[in-house]
């Protein structure tokens, strides 16, 4: 699995690049993990409802084609887009979601943070506070979009929305548990390693 470092990048161009990658790939295309950090942006998924945006400020809102509802991306958050062939895995969407969640949980465990997944609420939680969100789209037999792990960021924009459609959802981040907090690059290296293990097709 190829790791692609995108750095700090505006959301819209990355979104367009994801769609183009998905459209242009074939059965020989190598799977990729795109590691990104975004300037402040709210993204509204296919099932998103306008009323879940509670405060209309200066942060742009982008309508996108992943599952789920509204979430926030911003500096200090690690975003990884999972550009993977779904057909190659011969598995279920639930299995892909669980593999991503397990990769996040294993990464947090390396920092002594005990995290869990909740079957009815996709994502990863620490003491019922959400530390990572995920949303996927499957098109042309392949997966794109991915996950966002809060590392060391300003969490206040999450109070401007109902995160992932849940009113009053409390958010947390790695920096709430570790001082000094590891860098985004360090966390990204660990997380991409775990995701590569979790998402590698069994027949590979």
Annotated catalytic residue within 132, 164, 169, 181 = 164
In degrees rounded to 5, what are phi and psi of residue 131? -110, -20
Question: How remote is the C-alpha of 76 from its chain's centroid?
Answer: 13
- 76 labelled binding-site residue: no
DSSP 15: H
- 88 labelled binding-site residue: no
- 149 labelled binding-site residue: no
- 72 labelled binding-site residue: yes
164 is catalytic: yes
How many residues are recorded in the chain? 204
- 196 labelled binding-site residue: no
Q: Count each helix (H run) and each strand (E run) in the chain, helices first.
A: 3, 10
In degrees rounded to 5, what are phi and psi of residue 58? -90, -5
- 134 labelled binding-site residue: yes
Nearest Cα neighbor of 11 from 69, 52, 63 is 63
- 103 labelled binding-site residue: no
Q: Are strands 70-73 and 41-44 parallel, antiparallel or unpaired?
A: antiparallel
- 146 labelled binding-site residue: yes
Known catalytic residues are 164
Q: Output the known binding site for substrate.
A: 66-73, 133-135, 146-148
Q: Output the known binding site.
A: 66-73, 133-135, 146-148
């Amino acid at each position: 699995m190829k790791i692609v470092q995108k750095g700090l990048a505006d959301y819209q161009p990355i979104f367009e690049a994801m769609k183009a990658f998905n459209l242009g790939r074939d059965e020989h295309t190598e799977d990729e993990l795109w590691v990104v950090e975004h300037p402040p942006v709210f993204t509204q998924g296919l099932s998103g409802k306008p009323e879940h945006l509670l405060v209309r400020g200066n942060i742009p809102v982008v309508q996108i084609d992943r599952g789920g509802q509204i979430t926030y991306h911003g500096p200090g958050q690690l975003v990884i887009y999972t550009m993977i062939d779904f057909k190659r895995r011969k598995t279920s969407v639930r299995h892909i979601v669980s593999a991503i969640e397990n990769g996040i949980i294993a990464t947090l465990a390396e920092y002594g943070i005990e995290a869990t997944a909740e079957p009815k609420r996709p994502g990863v939680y620490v003491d019922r506070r959400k530390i990572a969100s995920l949303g996927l789209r499957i098109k042309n037999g392949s997966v794109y979009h991915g996950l966002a792990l809060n590392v060391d960021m300003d969490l206040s924009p999450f109070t401007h929305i109902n995160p992932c459609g849940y009113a009053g959802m409390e958010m947390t981040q790695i920096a709430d548990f570790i001082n000094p907090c590891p860098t985004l690059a360090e966390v990204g290296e660990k997380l991409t390693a775990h995701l590569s293990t979790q998402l590698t097709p069994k027949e590979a």
